[in-house]
Amino acid sequence: MKVRIITGVTCALIVIMLLVFTGLGYLGVMSIPMGIISAIAAYEIMRVSKCKNKLLTGVSMVVAAGVPAFFDFNVQQYLPVPASVFIIAYIIALLIIMLKCYDKTKFENVAMALFGSLAIPGSLGTLFKVRDLCVDYPELFQRSHCVFLILCAMYCAWMSDTWAYFVGSKFGKHKLAPRISPKKSVEGAIGGVVGTVLFCVASYLVCDRFFFHLDTLKLWMVVVFSIILAILGMCGDLSASVIKRNFGEKDFGNLFPGHGGVLDRVDSFLVTMPALYVIIEIMLAFYK
């Protein structure tokens, strides 16, 4: 438990530092750690899938490392062709690598390479979309709004798991998904959602009192999307557990003592962050 707490506090301090940089408007700072995280996550997903093709793993890690910067610096505006052209070329390249090394490469390795190098960093990259709302819609969002929204996505990914752990360990009686994650309980899940909503609401009240000047975000909005995101965060965690169980692994890695690998820490965030972006886009459709 001591190791878990120390590791958790260290990671929290790093996240807070990055949020401070975001709040101060230092663009480009986040793409470096996000690229590193994405590359490590791509490696972990390939390791779990038992991929023996080092070239396939290496290529997926390089692409994964570059995707966050693609979002962060809006590289699409400088490209002569749509990004989909490069994605198609990339898929073809992976298939060629599979054919070249067919004796030690399975198709599922290619599928996992695509998931690790595009889906994972692509999900993380939606953070930059939310961060830039104050640039794209200055009449609706301040930078403090953006930091708050990112913070809520993190709360719904990580605080829900923390609350669920403590509530479930004390009151848990009914298993939530015994074949996927035996330790999770229905009571813990409810406690996780309630605790997360309270955190998001408390953060909103503080920010609304001291930092928000535009009346775009309402309390009822925060309650609604925090409930949705907390539930989706649990679904993301369970989905990651399914992947690990399919390949007979307990954790994706051991980079964080007591917590597993990078993917073990960001699995829920891979769902809450893009889901929040979708919710915001739906909300903006009503403003237009």
Query: Are the beta carbons of 144 and 255 closer than 8 angstroms?
Result: no
Is there a single domain that holds both residue 48 and residue 99?
yes
Is there a single domain that holds both residue 267 and residue 158?
yes
Is there a single domain that holds both residue 138 and residue 119?
no
Which residue is associated with the tokens 């360990």?
A: 169
Segments forming the whole domain that contains residue 170: 132-288
Give the pair of three-digit tokens for residue 13: 């301090």
At which of 79, 108, 125 does a domain end? 125
Is there a single domain that holds both residue 265 and residue 148?
yes
Is there a single domain that holds both residue 112 and residue 137?
no
At which of 125, 158, 173 does a domain end? 125
Number of domains in the chain: 2
Alpha-carbon dihedral angle through residues 204, 8, 130, 82, given to the nearest 10 degrees:
-170
Query: Are the beta carbons of 279 and 225 closer than 8 angstroms?
Result: yes
Is there a single domain that holds both residue 164 and residue 227?
yes
Query: Are the beta carbons of 181 and 188 closer than 8 angstroms?
Result: no
Q: Helix (H, G, I), strand (E, B), or coil: what is residue 79?
A: coil
Amino acid 29: pLDDT: 74
How many CA atoms within 13 Å lie on the side-chain side of 105? 20
The CA distances from residue 43 to 37, 62, 67, 81, 157, in Å, are 10, 10, 15, 29, 22
Is there a single domain that holds both residue 101 and residue 230?
no
Is there a single domain that holds both residue 173 and residue 31?
no
Is there a single domain that holds both residue 32 and residue 121?
yes
d(CA 20, CA 2): 27
| pLDDT averaged over 10-residue windows placed end to end, the chain, 288 residues | 51 63 65 91 94 95 95 88 94 95 91 96 93 92 92 90 85 84 88 94 94 93 96 93 90 78 90 96 84
At which of 100, 125, 150 does a domain end? 125
The CA distances from residue 215 to 21, 45, 77, 157, 195, in Å, are 24, 42, 31, 26, 25
DSSP state, residue 251? -
Is there a single domain that holds both residue 117 and residue 219?
no
Is there a single domain that holds both residue 239 and residue 213?
yes
Distance of CA 255 to the CA centre of its chain: 17
Query: Are the beta carbons of 152 and 130 closer than 8 angstroms?
Result: no
Is there a single domain that holds both residue 78 and residue 141?
no
